[in-house]
Structure 1
Amino acid sequence: MRFLFALLMAAIAQPALGDDGGTKPTTLEPVSPWSLDYAETHCRLSRLFGDKDHPTVFFLEQYYPDSTFRWVVGGPKVGNIASGAEVRFQFGPGAKISQLGYTKLDLGDFGKGFSTQGPEVTESEPLMIKDDGAKGDDQSKEPQSQAVAGIPHLKSEIGRSIDWLALEPNSGNEVRLSLGNMQKPFEAMNQCTENLASHFGVDVAAQKVRRKGPIWSNRMDVIPMLFAAHPLELPRGGPKATFTLILLIDANGKPTNCQMIPMTAESNNWDKELACKILARRASFEPAIGADGERQASFYGTQVSFVLR
């Protein structure tokens, strides 16, 4: 049984805002504790900031154990920050400034928002497929976070270095969410995703001591097959159809279980059963290596996006 509970964190002093001679950022303080949702398909941390009557919401989400995460922010103070091709942000003070693509969202009562990845997106980049099956700019990069020794996780030392999220609009003042120190929230997320993986059939104890995770050896051949088997009716240059893909991989490198989770409205009509059948027949992995040096069953997670250019 998955469930929802609140994380009551000790208050931790925020670093003083630096004054470089420019305008100080608009800082939004928390108006709720962290809440952690143990859902059937994901783990989600959420917190409200700013005005209690018209709050800004922040979500941090994971769908399997990983060293990076999807995050969502929305509300009257931040809903229009994302414009153009990328959004500029920093999980500070410890993480570097990043500039990444994003997906615009309608967050209901919270208003406009957007989602993207961070702060360790370079370790687990989404795969982009264009309509003609040609290789996109980020297709040549195999996500490495799933191939590491031990089970992938959010690093406590990175969480310990993060106290706020700064968002920089194209014009106007920077907006900063006072997240509070993220070490304990990161650790809570790791516990949740391990529970999620166990729920999916993963032997978490064995994964923690593995020497190497699985590597998808024919990834660039198989992903375009999914698009060809079920082309989506998307407007050219429009929103992406994005999915989270989770596979159980046996000791011979073959998928034995598959889960495709729609991440955008454009992906809701996808034939997930057909996609999983293609993956079962066609996908091939270098299997994980266990603590004893032998091949072992494991899991593989990634995000896939389809877009018409």
Structure 2
Amino acid sequence: MIYLYRLIATAVSMGAAVSFSALANAKTEKHMEPSSEWALDYAEGACRLARMFGEGDEKVLFYLERYQPGDNFSIVVAGAPFEKFARSDVRIQFGESGELREEDVIEADLGRFSPALMISRSTLDEVEDPESRDAKTAKTDADLEPSNPFDLFGQQISPQYEAAVEFVAIESKRRGRVVLETGSLGEPMKAMRKCTDDLISTWGIDIQAHRSLTRRVLIKGDSLGWVRDSDYPTDLIRKGMQGLIYFRLNVDEEGKPTSCNIQRSTRPEEFDRIVCDRLLERAELIPALNAEGTPIESIFQGAVFFTIPN
């Protein structure tokens, strides 16, 4: 089974906030101190902020990853303390002022650090999309109309809010609560912003024009057929191989994808090739508009998840 997600939107569906009374049902609460410094990876297609927590067999890998400036990031947390955390039963909290909220989780195997829980899109706090049409498919003529100018790469969560976040808690009602004592995220997130600002400078688009778009790239028609179940290689199904692939399409003034870049992938590489080949062949998009309402070259980002149902 194959799922395609769009990641470019700045709005995040957080799911329902969970009352802190739920903590009373937790079996254990484990606090984990850092066992490494923060490490920032300037990768070709993404910026990854990572840190280790705990010691020995209990060691945990935690990282945030961004694919463009803004508030969104993906999360990976991995290690023995998360054994038997069910993906349908995971909640996360960023700092004392953050709400405990449900997240959509993908289970993965990172070898030494397993099990791994992956969240494809989250933020430190809930944000509103400056363009209400966000990541919707264009279904009516009204969807195509320019909006008030907005910054595609803007950030709503303030540096002060980031600095106030001093822990990340991951909870399962059945298995307990793991608290990663991160310390203030102020300086780490500042470094992440510098990395993502550098990242977009290599994309071949007019960055300044994207600070005042009146329409981002929209999906034309239905995206469900872009990458299909029949595209899942049978040999990889037999081997039980699954994959999560983050991609970026460059889109011209007519809405045609002109290039495909893999920003991050769990591999194997055959998944990467299939994603780009199929998207360049099948993706139908509506171009972005600049402040004057003129179509311009832009980008479309998303993720494809190849998964084998239980």
Output the TM-score relative to the length of structure 1. 0.71
Asked whether the equivalents of residues 154 and 187 of structure 1 are also in contact (C-alpha less than 8 Å), the reply is no
Q: Quick check: 1:165 aligned with 2:161?
A: no
Q: What is the aligned partner in structure 1 of residue 304 from structure 2?
A: 304
* Amino acid paired to 1:95: G
Asked whether the equivalents of residues 163 and 185 of structure 2 are also in contact (C-alpha less than 8 Å), the reply is yes
CA distance in 1, matches of 2:250, 2:189: 24
Q: What is the aligned partner in structure 1 of residue 47 from structure 2?
A: 43
Q: What is the aligned partner in structure 2 of residue 87 from structure 1?
A: 90
| Mean CA deviation greater in 286-295 or 45-54 | 45-54
Instruction: Give the SS at the match of 2:260.
Output: strand
Aligned-residue RMSD, C-alpha: 3.7
Post-superposition Cα deviations, 1:41-64, rounded to whole Å, max 9, x if no partner, equal: 221001122338963221111233
Q: Quick check: 1:174 aligned with 2:174?
A: no
Identity %: 27
| Structure 2 gaps, min length 5 | 1-20, 129-134, 139-146
CA distance in 2, matches of 1:271, 1:43: 19
Q: Quick check: 1:150 aligned with 2:151?
A: yes
Asked whether the equivalents of residues 152 and 210 of structure 2 are also in contact (C-alpha less than 8 Å), the reply is yes
Q: What is the aligned partner in structure 2 of residue 58 from structure 1?
A: 62
Instruction: Give the SS at the match of 1:304.
Output: strand
CA distance in 2, matches of 1:184, 1:26: 25
Asked whether the equivalents of residues 127 and 156 of structure 2 are also in contact (C-alpha less than 8 Å), the reply is no
Q: What is the aligned partner in structure 2 of residue 286 from structure 1?
A: 286
* Amino acid paired to 2:284: S
Post-superposition Cα deviations, 1:15-67, rounded to whole Å, max 9, x if no partner, equal: xxx9x888883222223332111011221001122338963221111233453
Asked whether the equivalents of residues 250 and 298 of structure 1 are also in contact (C-alpha less than 8 Å), the reply is yes
Match of 1:215 among 215, 218, 221: 218
Q: What is the aligned partner in structure 2 of residue 258 from structure 1?
A: 260
Asked whether the equivalents of residues 170 and 179 of structure 2 are also in contact (C-alpha less than 8 Å), the reply is yes
Q: Quick check: 1:202 aligned with 2:205?
A: yes
Q: What is the aligned partner in structure 2 of residue 244 from structure 1?
A: 246
* Amino acid paired to 2:172: P
| Mean CA deviation greater in 252-261 or 186-195 | 186-195
Asked whether the equivalents of residues 86 and 101 of structure 1 are also in contact (C-alpha less than 8 Å), the reply is no
Q: Which has the higher contact order (CA 8 A, sep 6+)?
A: 2
Q: What is the aligned partner in structure 1 of residue 10 from structure 2?
A: none
Structure 1 pair 108–281 and aligned structure 2 pair: CA distance change class (3 A): closer
Alpha-carbon distance, 1:166 to partner: 1.0
Instruction: Give the SS at the match of 2:196.
Output: helix
CA distance in 2, matches of 1:123, 1:223: 29
